[in-house]
Structure 1
Amino acid sequence: MSDLSADEAELCFPQLLNTSCKKHTRPNSKTMLSYMGLSSVSLLTAFLNLLVIISISHFRQLHTPTNLLLLSLAVADFLVGLFVMPMRIFLTEPCWFLGDLVCVLFFFLLSVSIVNMVLISIDRYVAICDPLRYPTKITQKRVQIFVLLCWIYSVFYSFMLLYDNLKQPGRYNSCYGQCVVNSNGAVDIVLFFILPITAIIILYMRVFVVAVSQARAMRSHIAKSELKAARTLGVLVAVFLMCYCPYYCFFLSGYYLIMDYLTNTIIMFLVYFNSCLNPMIYAFFYPWFRKSVKLIVTLEILQPNSCEANVL
């Protein structure tokens, strides 16, 4: 009788007996490390990106096409901090108890940030390489449409990539208590890493060369401002590459399939950490963000007509 109880205690769902997964044990130190790290970054990511969302949404001076793209990126990063990271914490558990459908939906949001990065690169490219026509080419209305298309495309593509999993959730699980999602890794790497990263790098190289030449030739305040914007984009792109490249490089090498638990968690942690670093970059490079945060934290945004405050 005691042996039976011991066997049942090792199952994720004891009532399912032979169809339930067995609980795999891990060292407590590794478990606590992943819990503390992911929980802290999750809360910080959601909080910092919420500050960006409130800042750009509330203050009228910040209602520009470029900031609308930053707002879209902040919303995507906020959702990563609010939903994806906590789901990853649950995924570190020996058993998955949130259901097969939630297991699939967990993979939906990451692609949105990548597409937003491409839009931001295009915006800076037009602003610096074709400044005279920028106001007519990049309007608030057009940016709103492109942001909407960005989200629709990302959700639709994720839906198509995970169609088999959504059609029959849990079909790739070998037992109850697993969260296994199967997708076309080659297509994912090409469409959501190689092509976007190539486009971002090409656009940024062109932007930086033009911005530097303009700053040297014109020596004006506007040219220097554009160069600073190019540098900010460069930092944003560099951080993005540092966070995403390890995951895709390991995936392409095939080593991803045999990585141990802690290495796997660290690689995924880097991908999620990008969503936390973006608002930190804004805080360091954008004075308007620091001024906005001060008004938000001191609750001055609750004052009448605070949306008209000067934050530039």
Structure 2
Amino acid sequence: MTIYSQHPNRGKIQILATYEGAAGTTSTTVTSLASSDLAAPIVNALNRISALATIPVSVRDTRDGKIRHYPSEHLVALTDAGARAALLTGTHSLWYEHVKLLLHGALADLDDALAKVPAPVGKAITAELEEEAHELRGELAYYAGKDWPESETRRRWDSTFPFVLFDGGMPDLAGMSREFMDRREEGITAEQRERAIADLRVLATAYLQCHATPGFLESEFEIFHEPDRANDHYLTVNLPQPGDDADVWRVDIGHWVPDEPQDDSFTGHTLLTCACPVPPTVADIVNLLDRSENEPKLLEAWANTPVGTALAGTSFIVTERHTV
């Protein structure tokens, strides 16, 4: 429920925490750094952490036509590094478990950024996270009707308009993303949900770890990658459909074809499919994406791979070719 920013002041770069307090919108200095290059990744990570911590407790779980609160267990990880592993476990829902995974990544990015700055800066940032978690827990307790002492530095939480910076930068937190994921859960069993969450963790982790710049389409639960200079070729990595007991992952390679000669509109045609009866690992997917990014012509070469043969340099075996 806090927005972080950097501000030059007397030759230093201040990191500011801005929140809604008793006196209205309030800004306080968290710490100062020698350069913007050091401050920027810290500010970025803090804003992601704030949004990922706040949004789940500000929206409602409306699956199955019911209205419930999302858990707040993820808040523990803000102040307890030992609790971070729990962010990678759980079976509550596709959306909530995805948010926990992203929070784990944001906290790891903050660790990386703090490793490059003086120890006093790290202590100040840690204290700020503790304050943020403390105040958010206090607001949740107050909302639940429990006593919580007022303080002059109280940060106010508004579930309708949470004071965080994510619009445009974190589509995973948007209502549309949550609704897409909720629809994927309709009619599935608890066991099928657990398997779908495990699959989503693999896909999302690969997306976060790869050095390529693919698109991650929550609505289709797929990674779409079209490298530059790939001669209009692209690939997709698709999760199994939740509720599909076959549990088959799929990698497709396709090609854009003009709808009409000299036309600006194109239609994608799938050239081949690699159906994976055994779920791929994160490393398998990262290797596939990074190789296609680093060697754009490789994607066109892969498109000519015969059935029964692996895409060169990968573990994905072609199971079907398609006629365009």
| Bigger helix fraction | 1
| Bigger strand fraction | 2
Normalised by the length of structure 1, the TM-score is 0.26
